[in-house]
């Protein structure tokens, strides 16, 4: 990913983005050179290694998982908040539109997870993370006995030990401080939750 120095953020920030925005795009290139992409909910896990790993699952009918064994590496893209920025928000002058955004590219070779207990463990972690822990939170235990074991026949669970993480936050760091504050004010005043979330990230990277 192209990351100018001004827009580079730490891997710790990248982990924060992945944990907060787990809906991702997994891309793997087959032997024919054609990339295959799947939109998936993934979960970053700290395992004591340099970059941690991701876990997730996809439909067994999706041929994507069949590429894992021979593909040298896959890329996973995560999106944080993003928003259009109008040049009319800046101080007067010959300025142009742009787009502010936060994103992460993570790399690694997916490994298929076998064994009923381990697959159910992946599902339990994903559910716990995205369902929450309130009194009405859904868990696998709500299924009839043996139902979860039957349903996992239709999926393939996997982990991706990460070899590197690239994190980028393009948030007007190349603009004058006054312009950055003006953009934040406009985004905060927007009815769009995406714009408001982008403003919060802009505040994080202010000097």
CA angle 128, 131, 54 (to 5 degrees): 50
Cβ atoms within 10 Å of 204's Cβ, excluding its own: 12
Q: What is the pLDDT of residue 88?
A: 97
Architecture per CATH, 5-176: Roll (2.30)
- Domain-by-domain residue ranges, the chain? 5-176
Outline where 27-96 has alpha helix (H).
none
Q: What is the pLDDT of residue 133?
A: 83
Question: 135 — phi, psi (to 5°)?
Answer: -65, -25
Cβ atoms within 10 Å of 115's Cβ, excluding its own: 9
Q: What is the pLDDT of residue 122?
A: 97
End-to-end CA distance of the chain: 24
- Please state the separation of Cα 18 from the chain's center in Å: 4
CB 62 within 8 A of CB 55: no
Among 165, 168, 204, 169, smallest CA distance to 46 is for: 165
CA contacts within 13 A on the Cβ side of 99: 8
pLDDT by position in tens, the chain (length 207): 999 999 999 999 999 999 999 999 999 998 889 999 999 999 999 999 999 999 999 999 999 999 999 988 999 999 999 999 999 999 999 999 999 999 999 999 999 999 999 999 999 999 999 998 888 899 998 999 999 999 999 999 999 999 999 999 999 999 999 999 999 999 999 999 999 999 999 999 998
Question: 188 — phi, psi (to 5°)?
Answer: -65, -30
């Amino acid at each position: 990913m192209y990351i100018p120095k001004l827009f580079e953020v730490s891997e710790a920030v990248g982990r924060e983005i992945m944990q907060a925005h787990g809906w991702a795009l997994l891309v793997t290139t087959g032997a024919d050179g054609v990339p295959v992409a799947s939109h998936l909910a993934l979960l970053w896990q700290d395992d004591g290694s340099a970059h941690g790993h991701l876990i997730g699952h996809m439909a067994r009918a999706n041929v994507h998982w069949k590429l894992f064994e021979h593909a040298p590496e896959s890329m996973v893209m995560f999106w944080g908040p993003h928003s259009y920025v109008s040049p009319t928000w800046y101080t007067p002058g010959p300025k142009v539109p742009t787009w502010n955004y936060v994103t992460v590219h993570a790399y690694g070779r997916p490994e298929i997870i076998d064994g009923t207990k381990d697959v159910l463990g992946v599902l339990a972690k994903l559910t716990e993370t995205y369902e929450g822990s309130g009194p009405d939170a859904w868990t696998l235990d709500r299924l009839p006995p043996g139902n979860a074991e039957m349903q996992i026949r239709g999926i393939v669970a996997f982990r991706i030990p990460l070899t590197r993480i690239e994190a980028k936050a393009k948030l007007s760091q190349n603009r004058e401080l006054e312009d950055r504050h003006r953009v934040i004010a406009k985004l905060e005043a927007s009815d769009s939750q995406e714009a408001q979330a982008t403003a919060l990230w802009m505040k994080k990277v202010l000097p």
